[in-house]
Chains A and B, each alone.
Chain A
C-alpha cells in the first residue's frame, strides 16, 4: 500500500483530464483515496474469507478421501461388485445297466426384474398373460417369491418350463418387454415317470425348511432340492458344490465384467442297483392291484426292483403342483405317495413260518423227524377256542418239512407254543423283524414284532398263550414291511449271512451279525420251501419252472379276525377291502440263490393264487437274463 499516494495523485489528475466523468458531473466526489481504501479493504477481507472457506472445503475433501477412504472404497465396491452364485449341475441317476432314470434337461424360465419394468407389474403381467400360460398355481408361487425378501434388481422367476412357442412369442416382443428375461436352465426329468417314483423320488422347489437343513451358502443359486426318495436321501452327493462369479455390474445391475470365477462342481452321479427292466416286469406283473414287489440280490443286499402300487408321476412335482392336485393325490384311497415296500405294514401270515421253523429247530423244540397230527383244529389245554388249519379236516400226520410244504398251521401252533413268545421274539428279531433294515431311503417303518414287554407297553396287558399260538402262523400282532420280509428271506437264502438292502451301488453298508445255525436246519427249512413250489403237495406248485429250482412260501394275511361260527365264509366273496392280503416270499435258484422276491397284493386273497405268480414272473425274467 506504499504507492497509494501516487495512485491517489494520478486519479485526482485523471479526474481533471478525462471529460464527462460521472463523478465530476454529479459533483459528489468524495475523497478518492479513502473510497479506494474502503473497497480494497473489503476486497482484502473477502479474499481472506474466500481462502479460508476454500481451505475448509479442501479439509472436507481430505476428510472424505483420507480418513474415510476405506469406508467409501468399500461402499464403491459394494456398488459395483456382486458375488453371483453359480448352481452346480445335479448328478444324474442311472440304473444298474447305465440307463438314466433321473436326467437333467435344458429348459427355459421367464424372469422379471421389477426395477426395470417400464410399466406397473400388474400391467406387465397382463401383457405376458397373452403370450404365456399363467395358471393360478403359477401366480400363487410367483406371488410367494415376490413377497420374499430379495435385493434390488434381483430377477424373480414367473414361470418355469416355457414351451418352445412361448419362448418364441416372448423373443418376438422382447424390445417392448423391458425387465422380462427368458433364461435357460437345467430341469430334472424322470423318463420312467411313475415306474420309479418311490425309489428315485423327486426334486421340488427349495423352501426355507430345506435351507435350514443344508448349508444355505452352498444352495444360494440352487432352485431345487431332493424332496423324496433317493433324490432326498442322497441330496448332498447329488447336489454338488456351488461356485461363484465375482462380477462387476453397472447401476442397473447389468453385467460389465467378470472379475473372478470359481466354477461349480457338479454333483455325483448315482449308479443304482435297480434294474429298470426287472422293475417294469414287476410292475406289469402286479398290474393295477395295490401292493408291493421287492427283489434283492441275497448275497449283496442290492435291490433289483422295488415296486409300490399305486404310483404317481414325479415330474409333476418338480415345478410344484397346485394344492388342489396335491390334495387329490394325498387323499386318494390307496395312498399313492406311500412306498409300500418300506412303509407298507402287513400281517406276514404264513410267510413267517420258515423263520419260526428255524427258531424252533435251533431251540430243539422240533426236529426233522417229529410228527404232528393236523386234525383241522387245534385247541389249547382247557380252552374251547379252535385254532384252525386252512384245509378242512386237516392234513393228517406231517413232519416239519411237510408242514412248510403244505403250510400246516397245527405244526406251527405247536412249535410256537413250545417255544413261547420270548424265544419267538428273540429268534425273529435276529432275522431283522421289528427293526428298520437300514436301506438308503428315508421313512422306513419298523413293523411290530410282539413281545411281552411290547404288549405291556402298548396295551398294559399281560401276554396270553393264545397269542403265542397265532404268532406261530404270523397272525395276531405281527406286522412286517415287505422289505423286512425280503431281507429275512435273503438271510435265509444265504444261510445266515448279513444282508443290508441298498439302492446305491456304492452305498457303505454296516453289516449285521451273521445268523449261525447248524447246516441241517437250513437244509430242512429250505427243502420245505422248495417243496412249496416243487413238492407233490406244495401250496404254490402252479408257478414251478423246469428251468430252475425255486424255494418259496405263501402267505395269506387276515385283514379282519374271523369270529366263531364264520368258518364258511368264502374269502373270494368278500368285499375287496375285507379280502385277505396275499403274500409270497421266494428265492432261486435254490442251490445258489441269485434273487429274492417278496410280493404283496393288498386284498388279493390267497397268496398262492395272486402273489406267487408275480414273484415267479420277476424271478423268471431275472434268471433268464443272467
Chain B
C-alpha cells in the first residue's frame, strides 16, 4: 500500500486496515453516489443523505475493525440471543408498510432482522470454534436449528429477501466447515422436493412475484411491469450505455424504485455492458479479497465468520443482479453498498468492519 496517498497509507497502516478492501468499498460508495444522483431524479437531497449514510457506515466500519475478533466471539451468544428476542418483539409490536420489520426504540428505529445477518454466522462460527471438523450429525442439527429459528421469524414478518440472506449466511458457515458433499447433494434434492410445500407457505404477493417471474408478459401492467421495465432498461443500455443522466427508463419513471432495488438497471442503462463489466470486476475483486482475508484468519471462528460474511455479500450481488436482469423473481434484496437506503448499508459496513478486524488481528502485534 506504499503507493497510496501518504495520509491514507499512514492511516491504513496505523489502523492495521486492509487497503484493498477499503479501496473497493470506497469505490462502490462513489459509484453509488453517482448512480443515485441520476436514479433519484437529480436530487441533491438523496445524494446528500446517502453521503451521510456512507460516512456513518465508514465510521462504524472503522470502529468495528479496531476491536479484536476474540471480543466478538465472546459477545456472540448474547448478540444472537438479543437478536432472537428483538425478532420476537417485532412480531408482537413491530411497524412498517405491509410487513412488520421495524422496531422503534425511541431514539433509533431499526430492523432486527438486519442484526441476524451478522448474528447467524457469528453464532454458527462460535459453535464450531475449536471443534473437530468436519461436522458430526448432532452438530449439524444444532446449526440448522440455530439458523432456521430466526429465518422462520423473519419469514413471518414477512421479509423474504432478508430471510434468504440470513439463511444463506448460515448455510455458508456450514458449507465452509466442511459438510460432506453427499449431504449437500441430498440437501439440494430435498430442497427441490419441498418446493410445493414452500409454495403453500408463501404469501400471495410472493406467489405473484414468482408467477410473473416465470412469465412477465402475462401481466405487463401489474406484477410483470417491474421485470419488463427493468430488463428494458438494461437491454436498451446496450454495449456502451445511454450515458450518465441519459437513461430514459428511469428518468421518465418507467422503472420502479430506480434508486433502491433497481438501481443496477439505471446503472446498466446509462453505462451499458462496459459499465456492468467494470462494476462486476470491482465486486469480484472485493469478494476475492474477502475470501483471501478469511483464508488468512487466525482461528476457525474468524475464518468461518469472514468467509460467511463475504459470501453473503456475494449473494446480495447475485440475487439483485439476477432479479434486475430477469433471472430471478423480484425479491427485496438491494445492490450491496450502492442501493439507496440505510439498513443494509449499515449491516454491510459492520460486516466489512468485522472482515477488517479479522484481517488486522490475523497475527499478534
Known: A39-B133, A39-B177, A54-B318. A61 touches B307 (CB 8 A): no
User: Which of B132, B248, B277, B295 meets A79, CB within 8 Å?
Assistant: B248
- Measured CA separation A61–B254 after assembly (Å): 20
- Answer whether residue B262 sits at the interface, using C-beta atoms and an 8 A cutoff: no
Q: Which residues of B contact A66 (CB under 8 A)?
A: 238-239, 273
- Answer whether residue B142 sits at the interface, using C-beta atoms and an 8 A cutoff: no
Size of the chain B interface, CB-CB below 8 angstroms: 58
User: Which of B221, B294, B318 meets A43, CB within 8 Å?
Assistant: B294
- Answer whether residue B97 sits at the interface, using C-beta atoms and an 8 A cutoff: no
B325 touching A60 by the CB < 8 A rule?
yes
- Answer whether residue A572 sits at the interface, using C-beta atoms and an 8 A cutoff: no
Shortest CB-to-CB span from B179 to chain A, Å, is: 9
Residue from A71, A79, A252 with most neighbouring chain B CB atoms (10 Å): A79
User: Which of A43, A54, A64 meets B283, CB within 8 Å?
Assistant: A54
Query: Mostly helix, strand, loop or mixed at chain A's interface?
Result: helix
A65 touching B273 by the CB < 8 A rule?
yes
B249 touching A28 by the CB < 8 A rule?
no
A14 touching B231 by the CB < 8 A rule?
no
A73 touching B235 by the CB < 8 A rule?
yes
- Answer whether residue B364 sits at the interface, using C-beta atoms and an 8 A cutoff: yes
A39 touching B273 by the CB < 8 A rule?
no
9-residue interface stretch from A45-53, A210-218, A471-479, A589-597: A45-53
Shortest CB-to-CB span from A164 to chain B, Å, is: 36
B252 touching A250 by the CB < 8 A rule?
yes
A152 touching B235 by the CB < 8 A rule?
no
B176 touching A51 by the CB < 8 A rule?
no
B295 touching A71 by the CB < 8 A rule?
no
Q: Which residue of A lies closest to B294 (CB)?
A: A43
- Answer whether residue B236 sits at the interface, using C-beta atoms and an 8 A cutoff: yes
Q: Which of B278-327 contact A (CB under 8 A)?
A: 280, 283-284, 287-288, 291, 294-295, 298-300, 303-304, 307, 311, 314, 317-318, 321-322, 325-327
Q: Which residue of A lies closest to B172 (CB)?
A: A46
Q: Which residues of A contact B182 (CB under 8 A)?
A: none
B284 touching A51 by the CB < 8 A rule?
yes
Q: Which residues of B contact A96 (CB under 8 A)?
A: none
A14 touching B364 by the CB < 8 A rule?
yes
B254 touching A79 by the CB < 8 A rule?
yes
Residue from A28, A46, A61, A76 with most neighbouring chain B CB atoms (10 Å): A61
Known: A64-B325, A72-B234, A251-B252. A43 touches B129 (CB 8 A): no
Q: Which residues of A contact B291 (CB under 8 A)?
A: 43-44, 46-47, 50
- Answer whether residue A536 sits at the interface, using C-beta atoms and an 8 A cutoff: no
Q: Which residue of A lies closest to B288 (CB)?
A: A47
- Answer whether residue B150 sits at the interface, using C-beta atoms and an 8 A cutoff: no
- Answer whether residue A80 sits at the interface, using C-beta atoms and an 8 A cutoff: yes
- Answer whether residue A105 sits at the interface, using C-beta atoms and an 8 A cutoff: no
Q: Which of B228-268 contact A (CB under 8 A)?
A: 229, 231-239, 248-249, 252-254, 268
- Answer whether residue A75 sits at the interface, using C-beta atoms and an 8 A cutoff: yes
Q: Which residue of B lies closest to A249 (CB)?
A: B252
9-residue interface stretch from A29-37, A268-276, A304-312, A507-515: A29-37
A36 touching B303 by the CB < 8 A rule?
yes
B287 touching A47 by the CB < 8 A rule?
yes
- Answer whether residue A385 sits at the interface, using C-beta atoms and an 8 A cutoff: no
B273 touching A38 by the CB < 8 A rule?
no
Other A-B pairs beyond A23-B130, A79-B252, 16, CB < 8 Å: A28-B130, A35-B133, A39-B133, A39-B300, A42-B178, A43-B176, A50-B284, A50-B291, A61-B273, A65-B273, A68-B235, A79-B254, A80-B252, A152-B221, A249-B252, A250-B252
Can you spell out 12 A-B residue pairs with CB atoms less than 8 angstroms apart?
A: A22-B129, A38-B177, A38-B178, A43-B291, A51-B287, A53-B318, A58-B277, A64-B235, A76-B233, A76-B236, A79-B248, A79-B254
